[in-house]
């Protein structure tokens, strides 16, 4: 993390007390832990050219960020999924009119401990693991070892995307599944647990994890989660990432969004380990 930039963790409470609209030089960003590294890096760069701004960047999950936008306690909700119809209804009832900004692409990587000999996995096998039908790695050709199922919690956009794209909207019902509050917590748990399996955003891959190539069915193709496979449109668990505002923004909020979409902002998206939404200029 870079240093020397004014990022205020407590700013959320100060702004909430004063009313968001009345604090022109304060900017509150809250939500998805997937988008969080992007928001943090860009906030540091943005603050360097707006030294008077006090910027608060917080995680908590996509659902938490969207709820904060609806309650008017954040300027920008960061989210790894689009808003649900029920959230739209609550927003409009509170005279909040969400505007989705597509800021990055992501892949949900399926990860295991590096010592796991399993080399690939299908959607059907993942569904069987996360619903508790398969509980031992030997049933997938691996060691005689219990599977430790690690999942994001239900406030997570990553959970919602994985549930829709892979689990066919089935619930995670594996006995003793470990529900984690962030991508980082999933990565840390899987990285220290030889029998574990989890799923994380592309930017959270690290050497303590082994990402498995995945396929929709046993016939393949089995595809790795990489920047190139996302750009090529062939990785089957890819998704857009959003920043959501109340209507078309003005002032500091608009400047921040435009900075995210600029060449510099999109380079930072790539620096954070995710995929830019367009070709970046030289």
Give per-residue pLDDT as tens, 120-135.
999 999 999 999 999 9
State residue 199 phi and psi, 5-degree precision. -145, 140
Residue pair 39/60 in contact by the 8 Å Cβ criterion: no
The pair of three-digit structure tokens given for residue 113, joined into one six-digit string? 């401990």
Give per-residue pLDDT as tens, 29-49.
999 999 999 999 999 999 999
d(CA 234, CA 24): 43
pLDDT of 28 over the 80 cut? yes
Q: Residue 282 — very low, low, confident or very high, per pLDDT cuts 50/70/90?
A: low
For tokens 């029998």, name the residue.
195
Please name every residue paired with 275 in a beta bridge, in sequence order, or none if there are none.
105
d(CA 30, CA 34): 11
pLDDT of 101 over the 70 cut? yes
Q: Residue 3 — very low, low, confident or very high, per pLDDT cuts 50/70/90?
A: very low
Q: What is the mean pLDDT of residues 151-160?
A: 94
pLDDT of 242 reads: 98
Q: Which domains, from first to last, does the chain contain?
A: 11-105+241-271 (3.40.190.10), 106-231 (3.40.190.10)
- Residue 162 CB burial class (10 angstroms; 0-12, 13-18, ≥19): buried
pLDDT of 280 reads: 85
pLDDT of 19 reads: 41
The pair of three-digit structure tokens given for residue 112, joined into one six-digit string? 């295991």
10 Å Cβ neighbour count for 196? 21
Residue pair 119/213 in contact by the 8 Å Cβ criterion: yes
Give per-residue pLDDT as tens, 157-199.
999 999 999 999 999 999 999 999 999 999 999 999 999 999 9
Q: What is the pTM for the complete model shown?
A: 0.87
Q: Residue 1 — very low, low, confident or very high, per pLDDT cuts 50/70/90?
A: very low
- Residue 88 CB burial class (10 angstroms; 0-12, 13-18, ≥19): middle
């Amino acid at each position: 993390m870079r240093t020397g930039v004014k990022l205020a963790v407590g700013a959320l409470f100060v702004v909430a007390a004063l009313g968001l609209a009345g604090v022109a030089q304060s900017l509150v960003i809250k939500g998805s832990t997937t988008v969080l590294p992007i928001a943090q890096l860009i906030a540091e760069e943005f603050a360097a050219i707006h030294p008077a701004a006090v910027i608060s960047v917080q995680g908590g999950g996509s659902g938490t960020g969207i709820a904060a936008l609806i309650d008017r306690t954040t300027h920008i909700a960061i989210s790894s999924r689009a808003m649900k119809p029920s959230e739209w209804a609550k927003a409009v009832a509170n005279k909040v009119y969400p505007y989705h900004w597509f800021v990055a692409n992501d892949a949900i990587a399926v990860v295991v401990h590096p010592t796991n000999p399993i080399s690939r996995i299908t959607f059907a096998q993942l569904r069987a693991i996360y619903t508790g039908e398969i509980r031992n790695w030997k049933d997938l050709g691996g060691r005689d070892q219990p599977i430790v199922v690690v999942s994001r919690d239900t406030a997570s956009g990553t959970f919602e995307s994985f549930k829709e794209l892979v689990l066919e909207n089935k619930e995670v019902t594996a006995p003793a599944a470990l529900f984690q509050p962030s991508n980082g917590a999933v990565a840390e748990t899987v990285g220290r647990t030889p029998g574990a399996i989890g799923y994380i955003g592309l930017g959270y891959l690290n050497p303590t994890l082994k990402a498995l190539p995945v396929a929709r069915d046993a016939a393949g193709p089995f595809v790795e989660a990489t920047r190139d496979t996302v750009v090529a449109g062939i990785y089957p668990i890819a998704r857009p990432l959003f920043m959501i505002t109340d209507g078309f923004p003005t002032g500091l909020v608009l400047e921040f969004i435009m900075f995210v979409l600029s060449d510099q902002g999109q380079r930072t998206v790539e620096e954070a380990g995710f995929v830019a939404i367009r070709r970046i200029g030289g």
